Amino acid sequence: MSIRSIKSLTNLKNKRVLVRVDFNVPIKKGKVRDEARLAASLPTINYLRKQKAKVILVTHVGRPEGKRVAALSVKPIAKHLSVLLNCQIAILPKWSGMAVYKTVENMPPGGVVMLENIRFSPEEEKNTRKLAVELAGLADLFVLDGFAVAHRAAASVAGVAEFLPSYAGLLIEQEINGLEQVTKRPSHPFVMVIGGAKMETKVSVIKNLLPRADHILVGGGIVNTYLKARGYGVGDSLVDDRFKKEVLGYGKEGKIVWPVDVVVGSATGKRARVVALARRPQRLCASGEAIYDIGPRSIQLFATYIKHAHTLVWNGAMGRFEQKPYDVGTLAIARLIAARSRGKSFGVIGGGETLQAMAMTGMGEYVDLISTGGGAMLEFLAGKKLPGIEAIKSHAG
């Protein structure tokens, strides 16, 4: 069964619609510092308001671990959103009880309220039936719009869907369509670029995409782990020894493209130099040094693949791009991906630091799909089922 979008709904007038968004945004001194996640759900909220539904938003913020933590209240978020939507947004401090039902009942059609941080309840992450039923009691319909939480089996993400007719919001619909295009019907050549630090989330993506992709270009910690496994002296480089054997196996797989040179140096960028990767294992780094980027010949090599791609997926920095001069590889790849997307290739990117790097190039607008879900996107690309998506699939109205 495929997901059903809110666009298939008619007559939403005065219907109470519970919308699970991911408004887990950075807040400093009571102000929202990055509104991207609020903006990403505006189409869904505006659509429901236009249809005269009563919109009840629910999100988590940070990790309050089941307790009421004042600094993690949704107040600054509601305030910021009320400006974006140009409407008042009342906050419901609780998710059950007469006062809450009355407030929802008295909402005008097209009105918006927001529940307090749902992770203030210890039952959210435990996904208890009790909380799911309470949330369902507030509404006539459930809409999942926060793709970034779709991989969490939480009460407000998956649990509540069991008790209400459930639909995909416009953001989820767009992200799932884009990711399905890539995994199910990619145009070839399909080139995946993968890097970053958290290797356990990356190796399962490589495993799942190996049969589908034509070339997988690798940077970041996986490269270091591979070089260490082959006997190179990698100094203090970021490696994950658990995957040494697995990545050695990639060496025999013709689809994996490894860097041909790397940039090594100190953590602060001193003594940074390009080292070609000779066939014979060699000592790449002196003590106190590490591999922090892919080298220029590797960028050139990766570019030849990217330039011919018809499908492009990128996750994970090529190096420690937060520290100059180790930003060169990652920013070059970001520009190449953006330049090859939109029309020439279908380009998808995702991941916290990956989006940060793309933002540094100012070229994000040329990418076809910028996924709002780092972890959720990786799980999708790894072929795993996302609890939130499964829940709305099996309880479509």
Query: What own/partner pairs with CB < 8 Å and gap ≥ 24 does 280-285 have?
Result: 281/230, 281/231, 281/232, 281/233, 282/232, 282/233, 283/232, 283/233, 284/227, 284/232, 284/233, 284/234, 284/235, 285/233, 285/234, 285/235, 285/236, 285/237
Question: Looking at beta carbons only, is 169 or 374 nearer to ligand ADP?
Answer: 374
* Alpha carbons 26 and 194: distance in angstroms, whole number: 26
Question: Looking at beta carbons only, is 116 or 353 nearer to Mg ion?
Answer: 353
Please choose, out of 18-26, 32-40, 227-235, 350-358, the segment that lies near ligand ADP by the rule CB under 6 A: 350-358
| The only residue of 174, 183, 224, 372 in contact with ligand ADP, by rule CB under 6 A | 224
Q: Report the partner that residue 292 touches, choosing among ligand ADP, Mg ion, none (CB closer than 5 to 8 A by kind).
A: ligand ADP
| The only residue of 110, 111, 186, 195 in contact with ligand ADP, by rule CB under 6 A | 195
Q: Smallest gap, in angstroms, from Cβ of residue 272 to ligand ADP? A: 12
The count of other CB atoms within 10 Å of the CB of residue 126 is 15
| The only residue of 291, 313, 332, 369 in contact with ligand ADP, by rule CB under 6 A | 291
Residue 220 binds ligand ADP (CB under 6 A): yes
CA dihedral over 15, 19, 25, 28, signed as positive or negative:
positive
| The only residue of 111, 351, 387, 388 in contact with ligand ADP, by rule CB under 6 A | 351
Q: Smallest gap, in angstroms, from Cβ of residue 173 to ligand ADP? A: 23
Q: Smallest gap, in angstroms, from Cβ of residue 351 to Mg ion? A: 6
**DSSP letter string, 269-297:** STT-EEEE--SS--B---TT-EEEEE-HH
Q: Smallest gap, in angstroms, from Cβ of residue 319 to ligand ADP? A: 5
What's the number of CA atoms in the CB half-sphere (13 Å) around residue 200? Answer: 2
Q: Using the 8-state DSSP alphabet, how is residue 67 labeled?
A: S
Please choose, out of 104-112, 133-141, 193-201, 204-212, the segment that lies near ligand ADP by the rule CB under 6 A: 193-201
Report yes or no: 167 and 6 within 8 Å, Cβ to Cβ.
yes
Q: Smallest gap, in angstroms, from Cβ of residue 274 to ligand ADP? A: 14
Residue 221 binds ligand ADP (CB under 6 A): yes
Q: Which x/- pattern over 340-369 shows residues binding Mg ion (rule: CB under 5 A)?
A: ------------xx----------------
Please choose, out of 56-64, 71-79, 190-198, 389-397, the segment that lies near ligand ADP by the rule CB under 6 A: 190-198
Six-digit token string for 95: 């998710």
Q: Using the 8-state DSSP alphabet, how is residue 341 labeled?
A: T
Q: Which x/- pattern over 292-321 shows residues binding ligand ADP (rule: CB under 6 A)?
A: x----------------------xxx-xxx
Integer CA distances (angstroms), 156 to 112, 137, 389, in order: 17, 12, 12
Minimal CA–CA distance to 262: which of 299, 230, 231?
299
Q: Smallest gap, in angstroms, from Cβ of residue 330 to Mg ion? A: 13
Phi and psi of 293, rounded to 5°?
Answer: -165, 165
Residue 353 binds ligand ADP (CB under 6 A): yes
Query: What own/partner pairs with CB < 8 Å and gap ≥ 24 does 243-248 have?
Result: 243/199, 243/200, 243/203, 246/203, 247/203, 247/222
In sequence order, the β-bridge partners of residue 190 are 311
Q: Smallest gap, in angstroms, from Cβ of residue 315 to Mg ion? A: 9
Q: Which x/- pattern over 230-269 shows residues binding ligand ADP (rule: CB under 6 A)?
A: --------x-------------------------------
Q: What residues line the site for ligand ADP (CB under 6 A)?
A: 195-198, 220-221, 224, 238, 291-292, 315-317, 319-322, 351-354, 374
